Structure 1
Amino acid sequence: MTELLWSNQPAPSRGPKPAITLAAIAQAAISIADAEGLDAVSMQRVAGELPVTKMALYRYVPGKSELVAVMSDLAMGGPPERPDGPWRDVLHTWAIDLYEGFLRHPWLVLSTIGRRLLGPNELAWIERGIGSLAGTGLSGGEQMDSMLVITSHVRNIVQQSTTYPGLSTGLTEEDMQQSLAEILSTEAARFPHLVAAMSTTAGSENQGLEYGLQRILDGLELLINDRRASASGR
């Protein structure tokens, strides 16, 4: 697995000169996942998109789990080039970039969880985020935990607001809002606090991304300022 994720050599480990590359295989799998969801990806389906047989694919990648790891890192790509700046601005932009990356490939939310080997692109994202916190006074563990909290928030918003290929309910955000409004118009006495809150709610459901992100950054700023004050008072 490590060799597949990190090697720059696309050739299979044995057999004749390759007709395709590992990157081409991963890209075919990405196209299937984008259109139909992660569950639609199989060695048979991928082979059907390429000039090779299913059995020939196993010369390039041992199985689906390895293929998912490679395609996930490829789809994620590296973090966009951004100018340096204050840690809060950098982390905010980082989180928005990550959110937009997940929106381009929603199945990444499912394929990049749990204990697994990390590829170069995913580690580059972590490096970028951690780098913004260097010199803030946070320990290495706190920097890592900060990234975990921010990433988890982004993931949660994507999961709550995205229509996943292959898992779609067929409802748009507008459909959901209209349905909720109709229910509350007839059940106001049963849900008075919800009705009151909804009456002052404006914007899309994705406003929760910005709201939660700002509250996380507020908390980090308090902690960082406290550390700096303690350090200056020594």
Structure 2
Amino acid sequence: MSSRNGETTPGQTPRATSRRRSAEAVPAASGGGDIDVSLALLWGMGEQATRGRKPTITLDAIVTSAVEIADAEGLEAVSMRRLASELGVGTMSLYRHVPGKSELLDLMIDHVNTLPTEPSPRRGLDWRKHLEECAHGSYRNYVSHAWLLQVDQSRPLLGPQALAGLELFLSGLEGLALSGQQKMMVIMSIDALVTGLARQEVQSTRAEQRTGVSDEEFWTAQSPVLERAMSTGAYPVLARLPMDAFAATWEDTFELCLTALLDGLERRLALHVS
């Protein structure tokens, strides 16, 4: 564990300190702090016994409060000082459980990294229905915890919840004519679709909240210029679109894209069988 001034404390290697310093430039990243410490905390090996009075808070309470703040106000609102205020304790009390915000972020990610537990081939769902349920659950999770979309998870730390979610996804692909690599590519493709559309939905909602201008008002303001542009004949394909071409909901768009992806996978599997 590192000291508050960044110096190495007993039990911490220079390598761990170096990782912490290099991660400070990109705080919103999975594994951006001390990886060893984060893994120990994720897997229940990091909450050490303390001397003196019994702690008035738990690691779970800290993480839960941090998630609630991030859900309500965004990731930038989460700080050790803010958490201490919310929990009614001194800031230094938090450091008895977690060394800093980077490690706390790893715990927050795993805390919300949940998928519905119902879909399972053993409960009568075929692989396609299973993946549909998992994808929709993942989409709802990202929209509910929009701050997740701010976090670089290109190299995620795998905690219990993350592994459970991956296990659930993979269980729907058991018995299919796919290699291990192909199964992971399917999951990565679904995740790319989920995060991409969830990010667009969240950004659209935030734009309206930030500006106070609704989507309808935004596009209405552009109508005179766009109508003149269409009348020039320079954009014939766009001009032929019906008035409701842009009226689809985010849910409609997600459903179409997911269906197309799974249709392609189903076709590939059918060709392999034949």
In the alignment, is the contact (CA less than 8 A) between 2:113 and 2:165 conserved in 1? Answer: no
Which has the larger Rg? 2
Post-superposition, which runs of at least 4 consecutive aligned residues in structure 1 deviate over 6 A?
164-167
> CA deviation digits over 1:130-188, x for unaligned, max 9?
11111111001100110000011010001111147799643544445545555533321
1:207-218 pair list within 5 angstroms: 207-218=252-263
In the alignment, is the contact (CA less than 8 A) between 1:37 and 1:165 conserved in 2? Answer: no
Deviation at 1:12?
Answer: 4.2
* Structure 1 counterpart of 2:226, from 184, 201, 219: 184
In the alignment, is the contact (CA less than 8 A) between 1:38 and 1:107 conserved in 2? Answer: yes
In the alignment, is the contact (CA less than 8 A) between 1:91 and 1:132 conserved in 2? Answer: yes
Q: What one-letter code is carried by the residue in structure 1 that aligns with 2:267?
A: L
Aligned residues: 228
Query: What is residue 50 of structure 2 aligned with on the other side?
Result: 14
2:109 counterpart of 1:67? no
Whole-Å separation in 2 of the counterparts to 1:86 and 1:143: 16
Query: What is residue 264 of structure 2 aligned with on the other side?
Result: 219
Residues 115 and 53 (structure 1 numbering): CA distance in 2 closer, same or farther, change over 3 Å?
same
Whole-Å separation in 1 of the counterparts to 2:68 and 2:207: 13
Query: What is residue 243 of structure 2 aligned with on the other side?
Result: 199
* Structure 2 counterpart of 1:138, from 164, 173, 178: 178
Whole-Å separation in 1 of the counterparts to 2:219 and 2:107: 38
Whole-Å separation in 1 of the counterparts to 2:217 and 2:271: 46
Whole-Å separation in 2 of the counterparts to 1:101 and 1:25: 20
Q: TM (normalized to structure 2)?
A: 0.74
Any gaps of 5 or more consecutive residues in structure 2? 1-37
1:18-97 pair list within 5 angstroms: 18-82=55-119, 83-97=123-137
> CA deviation digits over 1:60-106, x for unaligned, max 9?
01111110111121123343323441111111111111111111111
1:119-130 pair list within 5 angstroms: 119-130=159-170
Whole-Å separation in 2 of the counterparts to 1:181 and 1:117: 47
Query: What is residue 9 of structure 2 aligned with on the other side?
Result: none
